[in-house]
Chains A and B, each alone.
Chain A
Amino acid sequence: MIGPMLAEALQALASNRMRTFLTTLGMVIGVGAVIVMLAVGSGAQRSIRESISAMGSNLFIVLAGSASSGGVRLGGGNAATLTLADAEAIDEQPSVRATAPLVYGSAQLVHGAYNWGTQVYGTTPGYLEVRNWGLLAGTMFGDSDVRSAGRVAVIGTTVAAQLFGAEDPVGGTLRINGSPYTVLGLLAPKGQSFDGRDQDDTVLVPITTAQRKLFGSSFRGSLRMIMVQSVAADAMAQTELEVTSLLLERHRIGPGQAPDFSMRNLTAVAETAAATARIMSLLLGAIASISLIVGGIGIMNIMLVSVTERTREIGIRVAIGARPQDVRLQFLLESVALALLGGAVGVLLGVIGSELIRRLADIPVEVSGGSVLLAFAVSASVGVFFGWYPARKAARLQPIEALRHH
């Protein structure tokens, strides 16, 4: 039954190509827009997910308090309130998996004929663990380098490219603010952080080296921040409590007094960004779906015209034995075929459009199989939903009146 009816539906669509084309155009645009919007949305979500996992999971940062001199407060991280001993004490808390003390500042790097300005981070070997970061080549500096404040460095791929070019940087030497450092390792590329910084444009040196030799004047014995990784996502609250009370106690800050440090949940910030991206992509998809409704109304309109035009044909079919449900099925098949045709072309255009956006606008896009399936399912539903009323109208025609129709 479906077979010959489907053939007739396609025949009917093929017999009026211009009308079929214009009617499906609404669906084409609607489905195409939905596909592109979902692709842009899920591309944004994916890049944020990647940034989060690149940043490291379940992270806090503990910032040193703000220094003030002559009434000018310099902002968090500038007062000499956090020490390596604080970091070691935090590391011993039960809900803490790893810590990494940090001092950092700008420095000028030189290798051969090249020079490059970047941020240099002083930290401990635990930093890689906290940041969920690996090495492309060589090794991380060890605890002995930290104890001896050795002039060794691990560099990011951007720095390697700027200073060493095609040359293998591991084992090479670079000058930081004039002093020579041996490059022990090359960090694996990490890409952009979710706030857009190039995370590979970095140099790591032992914390002690940074404190005593590199930024000696500003950080003698003190830290800018401590990165703290919790053992698990559901231990974050526990970690925050433990670290706060530990530091309050160590710094002898009584109740009512302002603490000389602050603690931030980085993962929460990132998750907020991810949630924002999710809402954005939902919003984009919702706006695009409005055009699907418009496309559906176009189909309904043309099906109503078609039922009127083919009243006599319906009369003939009923006279030779078509039941109302046969007539209804025939017109429903036609509207679903129309919608699916538009959907298929729309998916094609959507995929092409997404690819163009990726190439021309350099925005991360991701066309998922799910969104293509969804587009087809929605097209079919639009066909059934908007075809229902015209099909019912056709099925309810009285055969005598239909046969009399010219």
Chain B
Amino acid sequence: MTAALIRVEDLAKDYPTAAGPYPALHGVNLEIGAGEFVAIMGPSGSGKSTFMNLLGCLDAPTRGRYWLAGQDVARLPTDALAQIRNRQLGFVFQGFNLLQRSSVADNVALPLVYARVARAQRRIRARELLAQVGLERYAESLPSRISGGQQQRVAIARALVNRPRVVLADEPTGNLDSHTSEEIMALFARLNRDQGITLVLVTHEPDIAAWAGRVIRFHDGALAEDRRQLPRPVSSLSLSPESPRPAREQVA
């Protein structure tokens, strides 16, 4: 058996409703290899968010199995799941989800706090990651002082700080204008190409999915399409720390 980074077998999730269990996800079988850049698409209610929650160990499946880097993680206890989210996974959200009271650097270093990394190392590592996303000079700023695109880059730095195996991004450009979306996608594409970071990204937009090497489409809680494609080439779009621009939506 090839060492797929992510392997799910007959993965299913039912949600309890007043009218009995509602199957949000029927048995899904899927493998994602290390270094892949996968876009997950589908209309709302298609099961793609449920699937992402399961991949992110934020929710437990009703049925089926899930191996992450060879480890069966479908039915681990709460604390073990927390550790997997902390060490193996990185999350990027549509609404950035930064802590508004903490500085940019502290936000980036937060996963290291839960990994019990010492203060000095946390600082060094946070600076390193901020340098990678071109935001070193905003290290001590509060998230509300920088633009939406910059906030999302901070969130990406936070997702990467603990050297995860997979970065899961849930509509990471949903709150950004098209120009900034391009920048964020270029950053993802470069991280995937240069550092071999495995990316699973949910999106509605075909333009965004075009950056991925593989597109998976969900429909009615089942896999409807799984195709490989030639990804859009990473342009020479530079990561300039653009002038602060208010985000389209600020999340408290």
Nearest opposing residue in chain A for B159, CB measure: A320
Given contacts A11-B101, A15-B101, contact A3 B58 (CB under 8 A): no
Of residues 84 to 114 in B, which have CB atoms within 8 Å of A's CB atoms?
85-87, 91, 93, 97-99, 101-102, 110-111, 113-114
Determine if A168 is an interface residue (Cβ-Cβ < 8 Å).
no
Determine if A319 is an interface residue (Cβ-Cβ < 8 Å).
yes
Stretch at the interface among B62-70, B75-83, B202-210: B75-83
A318 proximity list for chain B (CB < 8 A): 58, 82, 85
Nearest opposing residue in chain B for A1, CB measure: B116
Determine if A11 and B59 form an interchain contact, defined as CB atoms under 8 angstroms apart: no
Q: Select B114's contact among A313, A322, A403, beta carbons within 8 Å.
A: A322
**From A1, A312, A320, residue with most partner B Cβ within 10 Å:** A320
B251 proximity list for chain A (CB < 8 A): 312
Given contacts A313-B99, A317-B110, A403-B58, contact A322 B119 (CB under 8 A): no
Determine if B53 is an interface residue (Cβ-Cβ < 8 Å).
yes
Determine if B83 and A319 form an interchain contact, defined as CB atoms under 8 angstroms apart: no
Of residues 35 to 60 in B, which have CB atoms within 8 Å of A's CB atoms?
53, 56, 58-59
B119 proximity list for chain A (CB < 8 A): 3-4
Whole-angstrom distance between the Cβ of B51 and the nearest chain A Cβ: 13
Query: Once bound together, how far apart are the Cα atoms of A5 and B86, in whole Å?
Result: 17
Whole-angstrom distance between the Cβ of B44 and the nearest chain A Cβ: 14
Determine if A242 is an interface residue (Cβ-Cβ < 8 Å).
no
Whole-angstrom distance between the Cβ of B50 and the nearest chain A Cβ: 9
Determine if B85 and A320 form an interchain contact, defined as CB atoms under 8 angstroms apart: yes
Determine if A255 is an interface residue (Cβ-Cβ < 8 Å).
no
Whole-angstrom distance between the Cβ of B15 and the nearest chain A Cβ: 11
Determine if B101 and A320 form an interchain contact, defined as CB atoms under 8 angstroms apart: no
Nearest opposing residue in chain A for B162, CB measure: A321
Query: Once bound together, how far apart are the Cα atoms of A5 and B110, in whole Å?
Result: 10
A5 proximity list for chain B (CB < 8 A): 113
Determine if B82 and A322 form an interchain contact, defined as CB atoms under 8 angstroms apart: yes
Whole-angstrom distance between the Cβ of B33 and the nearest chain A Cβ: 24
Determine if A50 is an interface residue (Cβ-Cβ < 8 Å).
no
Query: Once bound together, how far apart are the Cα atoms of A8 and B101, in whole Å?
Result: 9
Determine if B234 is an interface residue (Cβ-Cβ < 8 Å).
no
Determine if B124 is an interface residue (Cβ-Cβ < 8 Å).
no
Query: Once bound together, how far apart are the Cα atoms of A317 and B58, in whole Å?
Result: 12
Determine if A221 is an interface residue (Cβ-Cβ < 8 Å).
no
Q: Select B99's contact among A3, A316, A323, A326, beta carbons within 8 Å.
A: A316
Binary contact readout B113-145 vs A (1 if CB under 8 angstroms, 0 otherwise): 111100100000000000000000000000000
Q: Select B58's contact among A1, A4, A319, A322, beta carbons within 8 Å.
A: A319
Query: Once bound together, how far apart are the Cα atoms of A321 and B116, in whole Å?
Result: 11
B83 proximity list for chain A (CB < 8 A): 321, 323
Query: Once bound together, how far apart are the Cα atoms of A266 and B129, in whole Å?
Result: 82
Interface residues contributed by chain B, number (CB under 8 Å): 29
Determine if B18 is an interface residue (Cβ-Cβ < 8 Å).
no
Given contacts A319-B91, A320-B158, A321-B83, contact A399 B58 (CB under 8 A): yes
Determine if B87 and A321 form an interchain contact, defined as CB atoms under 8 angstroms apart: yes
Determine if B97 and A312 form an interchain contact, defined as CB atoms under 8 angstroms apart: yes
Determine if A320 and B114 form an interchain contact, defined as CB atoms under 8 angstroms apart: yes
**From B91, B93, B97, B116, residue with most partner A Cβ within 10 Å:** B97
Query: Once bound together, how far apart are the Cα atoms of A399 and B82, in whole Å?
Result: 10
Determine if B78 and A324 form an interchain contact, defined as CB atoms under 8 angstroms apart: yes
Determine if B19 is an interface residue (Cβ-Cβ < 8 Å).
no
Determine if A400 and B101 form an interchain contact, defined as CB atoms under 8 angstroms apart: no
Determine if B237 is an interface residue (Cβ-Cβ < 8 Å).
no
B230 proximity list for chain A (CB < 8 A): none
Determine if B1 is an interface residue (Cβ-Cβ < 8 Å).
no
B252 proximity list for chain A (CB < 8 A): 312, 406
Determine if A12 is an interface residue (Cβ-Cβ < 8 Å).
yes
Determine if B113 and A1 form an interchain contact, defined as CB atoms under 8 angstroms apart: yes
Query: Once bound together, how far apart are the Cα atoms of A324 and B98, in whole Å?
Result: 20
A320 proximity list for chain B (CB < 8 A): 85-86, 91, 110-111, 114, 158
Query: Once bound together, how far apart are the Cα atoms of A319 and B96, in whole Å?
Result: 13
Determine if B111 and A321 form an interchain contact, defined as CB atoms under 8 angstroms apart: yes
Given contacts A319-B91, A321-B82, A321-B85, contact A400 B58 (CB under 8 A): yes
Nearest opposing residue in chain A for B98, CB measure: A316
B82 proximity list for chain A (CB < 8 A): 318, 321-324, 326
Determine if B102 and A8 form an interchain contact, defined as CB atoms under 8 angstroms apart: yes
Determine if B102 and A321 form an interchain contact, defined as CB atoms under 8 angstroms apart: no
Query: Once bound together, how far apart are the Cα atoms of A315 and B98, in whole Å?
Result: 11
Binary contact readout A372-406 vs B (1 if CB under 8 angstroms, 0 otherwise): 00000000000000000000000000011001001
Determine if B58 and A323 form an interchain contact, defined as CB atoms under 8 angstroms apart: no
A312 proximity list for chain B (CB < 8 A): 97, 251-252
A400 proximity list for chain B (CB < 8 A): 53, 58-59
B53 proximity list for chain A (CB < 8 A): 400
Nearest opposing residue in chain A for B82, CB measure: A323
A399 proximity list for chain B (CB < 8 A): 58-59
Determine if A323 and B79 form an interchain contact, defined as CB atoms under 8 angstroms apart: yes
A322 proximity list for chain B (CB < 8 A): 82, 114
Q: 13 A-B residue contacts at CB 8 Å?
A: A8-B101, A12-B101, A316-B98, A317-B110, A319-B58, A319-B85, A320-B85, A321-B162, A322-B114, A323-B78, A323-B82, A324-B79, A399-B58
Contacts A15-B101, A322-B114, A406-B252 aside, 9 further interface pairs with beta carbons under 8 A come to A4-B113, A11-B101, A316-B99, A320-B85, A320-B91, A321-B83, A321-B114, A323-B114, A400-B53
B residues sitting closer than 8 Å to A (CB atoms) are: 53, 56, 58-59, 78-79, 82-83, 85-87, 91, 93, 97-99, 101-102, 110-111, 113-116, 119, 158, 162, 251-252
Q: Which 9 A-B pairs have the closest CB atoms?
A: A321-B86, A321-B114, A323-B82, A399-B58, A320-B111, A316-B97, A323-B79, A321-B85, A4-B113
